[in-house]
Structure 1
Amino acid sequence: MAASEQLQSNTVTKRRRKRSTISSTAFDVEAQELIEKWEELSNDINSFKNSHEIYLTHLEEIEKLKKDHRIQFNKIETKIKNLNESIDVHQSLIIVPDEQQLNTPTKDKSELLRIRRDSERKKETPEERIVRLSTIREHLIKQRSDYLKRIKYTLPQPPERYLRIILGSELPVSILDKSTQWKYKESYEEFKLRVTLIIMVISLLMSTIIPTYRALDAVFHFLLVWYYCTLTIRESILVVNGSKIQFWWRLHHFISTICTCILLIWPSTKSYKIFRQQHYIFSLYISCVQVLLYYYQRGLLYRLRALGESDELQISIEGFQSWMLRGLSFLAPFLFIGYLFELYNAYVLYNLSIDSNAEPNPDWQFILKILSAIFFILFLGNFFTMYMVIRRKISERIHDIQWLQHRYESVKTLVKRIQSVNPFHK
């Protein structure tokens, strides 16, 4: 009995030793793998550290090169401007050859006198001198100026005053990589579309299903304030990077920001309740038109870019553009109705401001007059912008028709002359 117990004890001891040996061996293998991974990671970090130091060196060189290149660009622009001014002054001296003008102090008097002596040495007449200076201006200076305009946005641009106020410093906002510029422009377009769709859905719900509740109205108006503020910042960055956004549409967004701020702080008085439903219907209509404009302008801009007739950073706008007339112009009536809606808003707000029953507070009567004036300014700006675009396009078409008529008459005249001198004509 004791012998069997001793045998079992030895068997258990052997099993324990075997398990300990296996566990120790597995632990050593795992530890070795971890050590190898750490050594590999350590080598990668050391390699990255060396490459990062090289990267920082190149980055400093590139930043210095950009600054130096920008300084050279500004110097060349200044020289071209000074040369243009010198040519203007010299041409005036040629037209009015009065010695008294030479005695007046000018910034480039020595240069003008040198040009004049050179012209006299070459025995040029005043007319020949004017032609020579005009040639310099029209061909040499204009070609160089056009070249500088093309490369301007490949260099860092200083932020606008509005961006300096918002950002609080001279933070660089130039995007020099073309693909990154395109991505930023596309994100701007997608942002406008998404927020416009949200505004459209909320306006529909607030004007139909959701009852009047001032807190929800304030959230909607805050969304409008945030949207227009963001648009102004993004558009300023696009302008710095070469996007040619018309002045009116940028001003339109600034004015709209002020308008939505007033709507945000408007207390829940009788005048507000009267205008509330009209404002939501107006927001719904404008949002629907903007969505239609977005898809229409997006397709049209894609075709124009493919043909090389549009800039890469050209963006879709809430209004009527000259390049829109290249295709269908069925959206013009919808835009015109929207502009008339703005005029109607101005009319209603003005009547509310002079109605003491609707708005007894004199301070808010004055603010409502300002709000009415804002809607009227938006109507005038949008209407005259669309009018000028359509007028310009109609004049271009009339010019083309007149040119075709002239060519047709010329061909008819040529055929008649050939027939009159043709010896075989009977």
Structure 2
Amino acid sequence: MEKANELVEEAARLAEQAREVQDAAAALLSKTWNEEQALRQRALALESDLKRLRSSVDSAAKKNPAVLDPKISDKIEEELYRARCLVSDGDVASLLPSKAHGRFLKMFLGPVNVRATRKEVQLKVKEEYNSYRDRTAFLFLLFPCTLLLLRSYIWDGCFPALPVQLYQAWLLFLYTSLALRENILRVNGSDIRPWWIFHHYCAMLMALVSLTWEIKGQPDCANKQKGVQLFLVWAMMQGVAMLLQNRYQRQRLYTRIALGKSMESA
């Protein structure tokens, strides 16, 4: 009997502790939410002030260029750039309204929030995007090279239909995954231009249409498959361009990260 009473008391004590922890957690979350909302309002006001000052400086420079001394103008530009870097590339960016998800993301992911609240997570998403582009650029270059070599030395100058269609299916997957990742990056504050994402939509359509190509064989295979051969040669050149572009974008990302850190420590 005493053992049972002890168990009841222990259960009651744990239940009371659970209620206390729940109340403390609720109070903490409420306090954090209130502080976050206040900070969010400050961030919005700061962004508005930056836009207003930017507009005022541009307007003054257009109306009367002699009003602003070159040294003063350079100082203003430096301070505005510093503030803009902190707002757009720092932790403040997580407090600003996110860009709309768009129909493409909603079509594939549904009403899921893909906005990262922490800056290091956003940078990790960008880094993963660049790494993915590096990997796929090598494949983009390797696949057509392999197909062309096999055509010359193994397939007697004639492409079988299946390998070419597998490559085209991979292209469809590649462009779809790139478009998804780029839409997620835009939601997280990346400055990827809309036309760049739109051109991947067009590439998706191109890859889908190419899957319907009829890969004709013998006789006169070389002439019938001339278009396929030219497409693969173009893909090789595109792969080289992607590798160079990826290198440039990665260096630009590292530069922006370094600038953001230097601005924070200044």
Q: Which amino acid aligns with 1:311?
A: R
> Distance between the aligned counterparts of 2:99 and 2:205, measured in 1?
20
Cα drift, residue 259 of structure 1: 3.1
Cα drift, residue 149 of structure 1: 1.2
Equivalent residue, structure 2, for 1:337: none
Aligned residue among 213, 227, 241 for 1:275: 227
1:164–1:171 contact (8 Å) kept in structure 2: no
> Distance between the aligned counterparts of 1:240 and 1:313, measured in 2?
22
Cα drift, residue 187 of structure 1: 1.8
Equivalent residue, structure 2, for 1:320: none
Shift in alpha-carbon separation, 1:76–1:277, aligned structure 2, 3 A: same
> Distance between the aligned counterparts of 2:258 and 2:179, measured in 1?
16
Larger radius of gyration: 1
> Distance between the aligned counterparts of 2:28 and 2:196, measured in 1?
42
Q: Identify which of structures 1 and 2 has the higher relative contact order when contacts are C-alpha pairs closer than 8 Å and 6+ apart.
A: 2
> Distance between the aligned counterparts of 1:60 and 1:280, measured in 2?
55
Equivalent residue, structure 1, for 2:53: 80
1:229–1:257 contact (8 Å) kept in structure 2: yes
2:99–2:187 contact (8 Å) kept in structure 1: yes
Q: Which amino acid aligns with 1:231?
A: L
Aligned residue among 220, 238, 256 for 2:203: 256
1:266 aligned counterpart, secondary structure: coil
Shift in alpha-carbon separation, 1:150–1:228, aligned structure 2, 3 A: same
Q: Which structure 2 residues correspond to residues 136-155 of structure 1 after superposition, within 5 A?
A: 138=73, 141-153=76-88, 154-155=92-93
Matching of residue 212 in structure 1 with residue 160 in structure 2: yes
With normalisation by structure 1, the TM-score equals 0.41
Equivalent residue, structure 2, for 1:57: 30
Aligned residue among 164, 183, 189 for 2:102: 164
> Distance between the aligned counterparts of 1:171 and 1:313, measured in 2?
31
2:160 aligned counterpart, secondary structure: coil
Cα drift, residue 138 of structure 1: 0.9
Equivalent residue, structure 2, for 1:311: 256
Shift in alpha-carbon separation, 1:76–1:144, aligned structure 2, 3 A: farther
Q: Which amino acid aligns with 1:53?
A: A
> Distance between the aligned counterparts of 2:205 and 2:247, measured in 1?
27
Equivalent residue, structure 1, for 2:263: none
> Distance between the aligned counterparts of 1:225 and 1:36, measured in 2?
64
Could you tell me which runs of 5 or more consecutive residues in structure 1 were left unpaired when the two chains were aligned: 1-28, 93-129, 315-426
> Distance between the aligned counterparts of 2:120 and 2:79, measured in 1?
27
Deviations 1:282-333 (A, max 9, x none): 546755x479659x949x949x95xxxx22399xxxxxxxxxxxxxxxxxxx
Could you tell me which runs of 5 or more consecutive residues in structure 2 were left unpaired when the two chains were aligned: 218-222, 260-266
Equivalent residue, structure 1, for 2:220: none
Matching of residue 186 in structure 1 with residue 118 in structure 2: no
Cα drift, residue 170 of structure 1: 10
1:174–1:237 contact (8 Å) kept in structure 2: yes
Identity between Structure 1 and Structure 2 (%) = 19
2:83 aligned counterpart, secondary structure: helix
Q: What is the aligned-residue RMSD (CA, Å)?
A: 5.2
2:114–2:187 contact (8 Å) kept in structure 1: yes
Cα drift, residue 199 of structure 1: 5.1
Aligned residue among 162, 174, 196 for 1:227: 174
> Distance between the aligned counterparts of 2:12 and 2:28, measured in 1?
24
> Distance between the aligned counterparts of 1:172 and 1:66, measured in 2?
21
> Distance between the aligned counterparts of 2:137 and 2:10, measured in 1?
52
Equivalent residue, structure 2, for 1:120: none
Deviations 1:352-398 (A, max 9, x none): xxxxxxxxxxxxxxxxxxxxxxxxxxxxxxxxxxxxxxxxxxxxxxx
> Distance between the aligned counterparts of 1:275 and 1:47, measured in 2?
73
Q: Which structure 2 residues correspond to residues 381-392 of structure 1 after superposition, within 5 A?
A: none
2:47–2:87 contact (8 Å) kept in structure 1: no
Q: Which structure 2 residues correspond to residues 108-147 of structure 1 after superposition, within 5 A?
A: 130-131=66-67, 133-134=68-69, 138=73, 141-147=76-82
> Distance between the aligned counterparts of 1:292 and 1:85, measured in 2?
38
Q: Which amino acid aligns with 1:146?
A: Y
